[in-house]
Structure 1
Amino acid sequence: MSWWCAAQDSAWSWTWQPYVGVWVMVTALVALRLLAESLWAPRATTAASPSRERGRRLPLYLTGVAFLWIATDWPIGPLGAGYLLSVHTVQYILFAFVAPPLLIAGTPRWMLRRMIRRRWAFRVARTASRPLVAFLVFNVVLLATHLPSVVDGLTASQLGSFAVDMAWLIAGLVFWWPILGPLPELDPMPYPGRIVYLIANVFIPTVPAAFLTYAKYPIYALYELAPPTGGLTVVQDQQIAGMIMKIVGGFIVFGTASVLFFKWARAEAEDDHTSSHSGYVTSPSRLNTRTK
Structure 2
Amino acid sequence: MMQSILYWLEPWEPSPTVVVATLIAAVLFARGARYARVSFSRHVAFWLGLAAIYVALHTRLDYFFEHEFFMHRLQHLVLHHLGPFLIAVSYPGAALRAGVSMRWRPLWLHPALSTRTARSLVAVLFNPVVAVTLFVGLIYFWLLSRIHFEAMLDYRLYRVMNWSMVIDGLLFWWLVLDPRPSPPARLAPGQRILIVIAVVPPQILLGAYIFFTPHELYPIYSICGRAFTWLSPMRDQQIGGLLLWIPGSMMSVLGGLIALRHWMRLSAARVSHGRGTGGRGTEADFRASPDKP
Q: Tell me what 2:78 maps to.
A: 94
Q: Distance in 1 between matches of 2:184 and 2:273?
A: 27
| Cα 1:159/1:196, change in 2 over 3 Å | same
Q: Which has the larger radius of gyration?
A: 1
1:73-96 Cα shifts (integer Å, max 9, x gaps): 3443111112x1111101111111
Q: Tell me what 1:248 maps to.
A: 247
1:126 aligns with 2:123: yes
- Contact 2:12/2:59, CA 8 A, preserved across alignment: no
State the Cα distance separating 1:38 from its structure 2 match: 9.4
- Contact 2:29/2:95, CA 8 A, preserved across alignment: no
Q: Tell me what 2:198 maps to.
A: 200
Q: Distance in 2 between matches of 1:31 and 1:119?
A: 29
| Cα 1:106/1:186, change in 2 over 3 Å | closer
State the Cα distance separating 1:100 from its structure 2 match: 1.8
Judge which range, 264-273 or 121-130, deviates more: 264-273
1:194-247 Cα shifts (integer Å, max 9, x gaps): 101100011122232122110111111112333361622111111111111111
Indicate the SS of the match to 1:86. helix
Q: How does the TM-score come out when normalised to structure 2? A: 0.75
- Contact 1:59/1:106, CA 8 A, preserved across alignment: no
How many residues get paired? 258
| Residue type of the alignment partner of 2:58 | D
| Match among 143, 165, 173 for residue 146 of structure 1 | 143
Q: Tell me what 1:79 maps to.
A: 64
1:29 aligns with 2:21: yes
State the Cα distance separating 1:55 from its structure 2 match: 7.1
- Contact 2:177/2:255, CA 8 A, preserved across alignment: no
Q: Tell me what 1:257 maps to.
A: 256
| Cα 1:34/1:239, change in 2 over 3 Å | closer
Indicate the SS of the match to 2:92. coil
- Contact 1:76/1:91, CA 8 A, preserved across alignment: no
Output the aligned Cα RMSD: 3.2
| Cα 1:170/1:125, change in 2 over 3 Å | same
State the Cα distance separating 1:25 from its structure 2 match: 3.7
Judge which range, 267-276 or 166-175, deviates more: 267-276
Q: Tell me what 2:163 maps to.
A: 166
1:12-37 Cα shifts (integer Å, max 9, x gaps): xxx85843765634431243236657
State the Cα distance separating 1:175 from its structure 2 match: 2.0
State the Cα distance separating 1:144 from its structure 2 match: 0.8
Indicate the SS of the match to 1:188. coil
Which consecutive residues of structure 2, in runs of 5 or more, have no partner in the other structure? 1-6, 98-108, 280-293
Which consecutive residues of structure 1, in runs of 5 or more, have no partner in the other structure? 1-14, 42-47, 281-292
Q: Distance in 1 between matches of 2:179 and 2:121?
A: 12
